């Protein structure tokens, strides 16, 4: 990491990137926490709505039961008679009145028993008390949780038992009228729905703090405890909104939601303390923090990696320029390619130095090898100029003596040697093919009517640059190893064509085949670089010269033909041709 921080431009970039990443990370973290908090508050709101709906459903169910009971009363004259006996009497008066109004042929109907069976549901219902009132007093029937019934008679209407508070429950008022004269009111029913029972269903929901507030301001706590909870619920009711936030401290806030009952005059309030909610969800928030922190660290590490790589490329560029200035072409490990300007420049500079070094070495080694080849040839041959002058004298003598055939052969040989002794070592492939054709024409003179040759080379190959006099040794191999003097048809073909990424030139004959063991040996000697003498020195000399000239873009294959003879193919990539042409222009 210190490697790029030492460079001023990258140090500034890193600081800017780090500040930006931290800012974005904190922003995303805060936004994520806000979204999660809103979702949690929404979940609490949904829980409150479910609890309120459950309470309202219970109250509506009890209301429907009361209405059904009143219809049951008016439809049963026996119940009406028993209720009238119960209304305004003491226990003794009620029993006496029942007996006086009974008939021997009718069963007695008990109003309290009917209520117990219909409304109390064996003590498991929400209605725990039913009272029947006159203008001044009332009689009470109560049901406990075990289904037991208790009575209280002639209690004043002002008695505390009839006080309507939300701690006790909700009261349904139903008038009791004379069935024979509806406008005449006999008394009033009061059905008490227990708050403990009706709000018990709400306790099954996940409520932090919740309560019901009556119109007079009394609070029934459903969830939570203490005066602080009651005070907070009253504040939410006093606020007047259906939902919102309340301040509970310097930075603490509480979210509330309030519902107004349509059946009874009360408000259902649920409150969520945000500080408590955050503490409950601390694990989730910690995970969010760690994820955001890990993301920021990963992004910063990626930035460090990119800046470090760019810094390395910049140093590489500077180093490459320095090496080029001092002509230091020592091979170095290639730069890894990256798809940016630094990477492209660094690779191009490395490639430029490599190409310079290769061209220098290629030209130097090529000249050395060419000189070595020429020296070896001169050691075994007479001076070409002297030979050419001598051949001219012989040709003149042949013309004087009318030996035209001999004269043409000597003229061809002279032209061949004249081209060989020229100083230029690099010629076009077309000129090299002309040299080969002169050599093959001489071989036609040597083997009349027994040797034939054909050229099938595409025009695009003629302009390719090459070294001089390498095709003749390939053809000479045929006459030394594959030619059959007893055969009337010895054929040598030279084919050349262009493909998409390379050029191919092959020399094919119909002579003797090479054994598999010998073919493997020749191939190994060509690629080994061994300079030890042997009978494949001509092929290896050609291979070495072309390898030095064209570089890795050159390859040579030697194979037997299916029926007879040998095929030697020289393959040149177009990239190798471009490199040679570029070096020649330089």
Q: Is the pLDDT of residue 375 over 80?
A: no
Q: Is the pLDDT of residue 285 over 50?
A: yes
**Quick check: 495 and 506 in contact, CB under 8 A?**
yes
In angstroms, rounded to a whole number, what is the distance separating the alpha carbons of residues 328 and 567?
43
Q: φ, ψ for residue 270 (rounded to 5)?
A: -125, 135
Q: Is the pLDDT of residue 126 over 90?
A: no
In angstroms, rounded to a whole number, what is the distance separating the alpha carbons of residues 33 and 35?
5
The token pair that represents 131 in the structure block = 């009272």
The token pair that represents 279 in the structure block = 């503490």
pLDDT of residue 386: 44
Strands 490-498 and 451-457 come out as: parallel
Coil, helix or strand at residue 410: helix
Q: What does the pLDDT look like over 79-101, one tens digit per residue? A: 888 888 888 788 888 888 777 76
For residues 331-340, average pLDDT: 59
User: Is the model more confident about 11 or about 72?
Assistant: 72
pLDDT of residue 188: 93
Q: Is the pLDDT of residue 521 over 50?
A: yes
Q: Can you tell me which residue has the tokens 């907070």?
A: 232
pLDDT of residue 571: 95
For residues 224-237, average pLDDT: 89
**Cross-strand pairs, 286:** none
User: Is the model more confident about 359 or about 35?
Assistant: 35
Query: pLDDT confidence of 265, banded at 50, 70, 90?
Result: confident
**Quick check: 198 and 126 in contact, CB under 8 A?**
yes
Q: Is the pLDDT of residue 382 over 50?
A: no
User: Is the model more confident about 424 or about 181?
Assistant: 181
Q: Report the greatest alpha carbon distance in the chain.
A: 180
Structural domain boundaries in the chain: 76-198, 424-585
| 181-194 sheet: strands from edge to edge | 149-156, 137-143, 127-133, 181-194, 169-178
In angstroms, rounded to a whole number, what is the distance separating the alpha carbons of residues 93 and 246?
58
**Quick check: 552 and 491 in contact, CB under 8 A?**
no
pLDDT of residue 458: 94
For 6-10, 484-488, 510-514, which range has the lowest pLDDT when averaged over its residues? 6-10
In angstroms, rounded to a whole number, what is the distance separating the alpha carbons of residues 82 and 485?
148
pLDDT of residue 339: 61
Query: pLDDT confidence of 568, banded at 50, 70, 90?
Result: very high
**Quick check: 173 and 131 in contact, CB under 8 A?**
no
The token pair that represents 117 in the structure block = 């069976």
In angstroms, rounded to a whole number, what is the distance separating the alpha carbons of residues 386 and 204?
122
Coil, helix or strand at residue 51: helix
For 127-136, 307-316, 388-397, 414-423, which range has the lowest pLDDT when averaged over its residues? 388-397
pTM: 0.52
For residues 336-359, average pLDDT: 68
Taking alpha carbons only, the member of 124, 115, 139 closest to residue 66 is: 115
Coil, helix or strand at residue 262: coil
The residues, ordered by sequence, that sit 6+ positions from 96 with a Cβ below 8 Å of its Cβ are none
- What is the helix (H) or strand (E) element at residue 503, kind and residue range? strand 502-509
Q: Is the pLDDT of residue 10 over 90?
A: no
Averaged confidence pLDDT in the chain: 82
Q: What percent of the chain has pLDDT over 90?
A: 28
The token pair that represents 115 in the structure block = 């209520």
**Quick check: 437 and 454 in contact, CB under 8 A?**
no
> What is the DSSP secondary structure assignment for residue 514, as one 8-state letter?
P
Q: What does the pLDDT look like over 165-210, one tens digit per residue? A: 998 999 999 999 888 887 888 899 999 999 989 998 888 888 889 9
Angle, helix 341-380 to helix 282-325, in steps of 10 degrees: 40
CA distance readout (Å), 47 to 44, 112, 204, 207, 254 = 5, 39, 10, 7, 16
pLDDT of residue 364: 65
**Cross-strand pairs, 273:** 254
Coil, helix or strand at residue 253: strand
CATH class in words for 424-585: alpha beta
**Quick check: 360 and 349 in contact, CB under 8 A?**
no
Q: Can you tell me which residue has the tokens 């209520």?
A: 115
Q: Is the pLDDT of residue 341 over 70?
A: no
Query: pLDDT confidence of 418, banded at 50, 70, 90?
Result: low
In angstroms, rounded to a whole number, what is the distance separating the alpha carbons of residues 98 and 112?
13
Query: pLDDT confidence of 380, banded at 50, 70, 90?
Result: very low
**Region of residue 402 (left: phi > 0; alpha: psi -120 to 50; beta: else):** left
In angstroms, rounded to a whole number, what is the distance separating the alpha carbons of residues 547 and 260?
97
- What is the helix (H) or strand (E) element at residue 140, kind and residue range? strand 137-143
Query: pLDDT confidence of 378, banded at 50, 70, 90?
Result: very low
**Cross-strand pairs, 557:** 569
In angstroms, rounded to a whole number, what is the distance separating the alpha carbons of residues 26 and 243?
29
**Quick check: 455 and 494 in contact, CB under 8 A?**
yes
**Cross-strand pairs, 185:** 177
Taking alpha carbons only, the member of 258, 282, 335, 340 closest to residue 307 is: 340
In angstroms, rounded to a whole number, what is the distance separating the alpha carbons of residues 488 and 574?
40
Taking alpha carbons only, the member of 223, 256, 227 closest to residue 239 is: 256
Coil, helix or strand at residue 165: coil
The token pair that represents 541 in the structure block = 């000399």
The token pair that represents 224 in the structure block = 């939570």
In angstroms, rounded to a whole number, what is the distance separating the alpha carbons of residues 483 and 444?
13
**Quick check: 342 and 314 in contact, CB under 8 A?**
yes
């Amino acid at each position: 990491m210190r490697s790029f921080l030492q460079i001023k431009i990258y140090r500034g970039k890193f600081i800017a990137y780090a500040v930006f990443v931290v800012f974005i990370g904190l922003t995303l973290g805060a936004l994520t926490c806000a979204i999660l908090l809103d979702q949690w508050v929404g979940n609490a709101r949904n829980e409150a709505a479910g609890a309120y709906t459950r309470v309202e459903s219970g109250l509506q169910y009890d209301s429907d039961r009361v209405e059904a009971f009143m219809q049951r009363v008016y439809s049963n004259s026996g119940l009406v008679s028993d209720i009238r006996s119960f209304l305004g009497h003491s226990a003794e008066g009620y029993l006496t009145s029942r007996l006086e109004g009974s008939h021997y042929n009718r069963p007695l109907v008990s109003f309290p028993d009917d209520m117990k069976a219909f409304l109390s549901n064996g003590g498991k219902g929400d209605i725990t008390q039913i009272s029947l009132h006159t203008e001044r007093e009332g009689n009470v029937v109560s049901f406990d949780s075990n289904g037991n019934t208790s009575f209280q008679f002639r209690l004043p209407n002002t008695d505390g038992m009839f006080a309507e508070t939300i701690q006790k429950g909700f009261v349904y008022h139903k008038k009791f009228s004379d069935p024979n004269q509806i406008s005449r009111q006999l008394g009033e029913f009061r059905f008490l729905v227990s708050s403990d029972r009706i709000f018990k269903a709400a306790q099954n929901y996940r409520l932090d703090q919740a309560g019901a507030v009556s119109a007079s301001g009394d609070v029934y706590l459903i969830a939570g405890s203490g005066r602080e909870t009651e005070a907070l619920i009253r504040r939410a009711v006093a606020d007047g909104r259906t939902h919102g936030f309340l301040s509970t401290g310097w930075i603490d806030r509480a979210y509330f939601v309030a519902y107004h009952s349509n059946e009874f005059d009360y408000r259902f309030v649920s409150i969520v303390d945000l500080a408590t909610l955050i503490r409950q969800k601390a694990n989730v928030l910690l995970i969010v923090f760690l994820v955001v922190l890990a993301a920021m660290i990963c992004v910063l590490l990626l930035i460090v990696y990119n800046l470090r790589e760019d810094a390395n490329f910049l140093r590489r560029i500077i180093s490459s320029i320095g090496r080029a200035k001092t002509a230091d072409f020592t091979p170095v490990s290639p730069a890894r390619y990256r798809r940016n300007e630094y990477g492209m420049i660094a690779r191009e500079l490395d490639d430029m130095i490599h190409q310079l070094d290769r061209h220098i070495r290629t030209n130097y080694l090529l000249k050395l090898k060419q000189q070595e080849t020429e020296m070896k040839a001169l050691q075994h041959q007479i001076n070409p100029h002297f030979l050419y002058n001598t051949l001219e004298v012989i040709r003149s003598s042949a013309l004087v003596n009318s030996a035209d055939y001999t004269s043409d052969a000597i003229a061809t040989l002279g032209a061949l040697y004249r081209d060989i002794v020229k100083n230029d070592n690099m010629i076009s492939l077309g000129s090299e093919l002309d040299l080969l054709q002169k050599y093959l024409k001489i071989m036609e003179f040597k083997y009349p009517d027994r040797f034939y040759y054909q050229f099938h080379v595409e025009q695009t190959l003629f302009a390719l640059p090459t070294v001089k006099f390498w095709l003749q040794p390939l053809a000479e191999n045929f006459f030394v190893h594959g030619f059959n003097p007893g055969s009337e048809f010895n054929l040598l073909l030279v084919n050349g064509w262009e493909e998409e990424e390379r050029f191919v030139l092959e020399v094919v004959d119909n002579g003797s085949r090479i054994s598999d063991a010998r073919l493997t040996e020749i191939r190994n000697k060509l690629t080994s670089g061994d300079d030890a003498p042997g009978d494949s020195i001509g092929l290896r000399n050609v291979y070495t010269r072309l390898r030095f000239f064209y570089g890795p873009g050159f390859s040579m294959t030697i194979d037997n033909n299916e029926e007879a003879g040998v095929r030697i193919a020289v393959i040149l990539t177009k990239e190798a041709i471009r490199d040679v042409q570029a070096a020649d222009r330089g």
